Chain A
Amino acid sequence: SAVISQKPSRDICQRGTSLTIQCQVDSQVTMMFWYRQQPGQSLTLIATANQGSEATYESGFVIDKFPISRPNLTFSTLTVSNMSPEDSSIYLCSGTIGSAGGAWAGELFFGEGSRLTVL
């Protein structure tokens, strides 16, 4: 299993500013993902954080708005740039572990989320 820690857990930000969320995993995970959960909504995948290379973004999300880094197997950051009130959401980091045989171990672990409020 994996324990995922996120910082900050919550923040209140001003319009036009940027905020970086950190995600630390206590073990090496195969893949890391960033999800967004808007108020009262389900989770939407923002991107896959790739180690040492550019993240892979889902439709509707772009690198200029949500730059992501993943320098190693246990750490990633998501920046929410030039924030507007529409960016007020919970941002969740997640990771998955592959088994020794190469197959997916079949669980996506989640951090507790970073709740951003943009005024």
Chain B
Amino acid sequence: AQSVTQPDIHITVSEGASLELRCNYSYGATPYLFWYVQSPGQGLQLLLKYFSGDTLVQGIKGFEAEFKRSQSSFNLRKPSVHWSDAAEYFCAVGLNFGNEKLTFGTGTRLTIIP
């Protein structure tokens, strides 16, 4: 079965600094990969996804992620964070059509300091 690991439980970044959130997956083939963000008291919003093709994926709110097959990683990056980026970030892996269940990582809580 597939699994997702987010090694960082909590990250604190200064506003304006760059950000990288780590995600590693375990799956025999290339899975569908996702990053979701959950603001306090809110549901989950999709930031970006990777299915195939270009391994650098652009998402909303200035986020991007890079799929590295050799490292089984799908790290999320942002060149300059804003205070509104403070939230919980979840990496998730899915399989294929007809089996769209997602397996989520444990999440990384992002705190932004002035």
Contact with B along A21-62 (1 / 0, CB 8 A): 000000000110100000001111100100000000000000
Assess whether B106 is interfacial by the CB under 8 Å rule.
Answer: yes
Q: Which residue of B lies closest to A115 (CB)?
A: B41
User: B96 touching A45 by the CB < 8 A rule?
Assistant: no
Contact with A along B85-107 (1 / 0, CB 8 A): 00000101010111011111111
Closest CB-CB distance, A38 to chain B, in whole Å?
A: 11
Interface size of A in residues (CB-CB distance below 8 Å): 25
> Is B63 positioned at the interface, with any CB of A under 8 Å from its CB?
no
Q: How distant is the Cα of A48 from the Cα of B101 in the complex, in angstroms?
A: 8
Residues 82-110 (chain A) with a chain B CB within 8 angstroms: 92, 94, 96, 98, 102-104, 106-110
Residues of A within 8 A of B42 (CB): 112-113
Residue of B nearest to A102 (CB): B97
A42-B90, A42-B104 known; A103 vs B46 contact (CB < 8 Å): no
When distances are taken between beta carbons in the complex, the residues of chain A under 8 Å from B36 are 110
- Cα A95 to Cα B41 in complex, Å, equals 19
Assuming the contacts A104-B96, A106-B32, A106-B51, asked whether A33 and B43 have C-beta atoms less than 8 A apart, the reply is no
CB distance B97 to A98 under 8 Å? yes
Instruction: Please tell me which one of the listed residues B43, B49, B103 contacts residue A107 in the complex, with CB atoms under 8 A apart.
Output: B49
A4 at the interface (CB under 8 A from B): yes
A-B contacts, 18 of them at CB < 8 A, read: A33-B100, A41-B106, A42-B105, A43-B44, A43-B90, A45-B102, A45-B103, A48-B101, A92-B44, A94-B44, A96-B100, A104-B98, A104-B100, A106-B49, A108-B34, A108-B46, A108-B100, A112-B43
Give A contacts to B, CB under 8 Å: 4, 30-31, 33, 41-45, 48, 92, 94, 96, 98, 102-104, 106-113
Instruction: Given contacts A42-B107, A104-B32, A111-B43, list 18 more A-B pairs with CB under 8 A.
Output: A30-B100, A43-B44, A43-B102, A43-B104, A44-B104, A45-B102, A92-B43, A92-B44, A106-B32, A106-B51, A107-B49, A108-B92, A108-B94, A110-B44, A110-B45, A112-B41, A112-B42, A112-B43
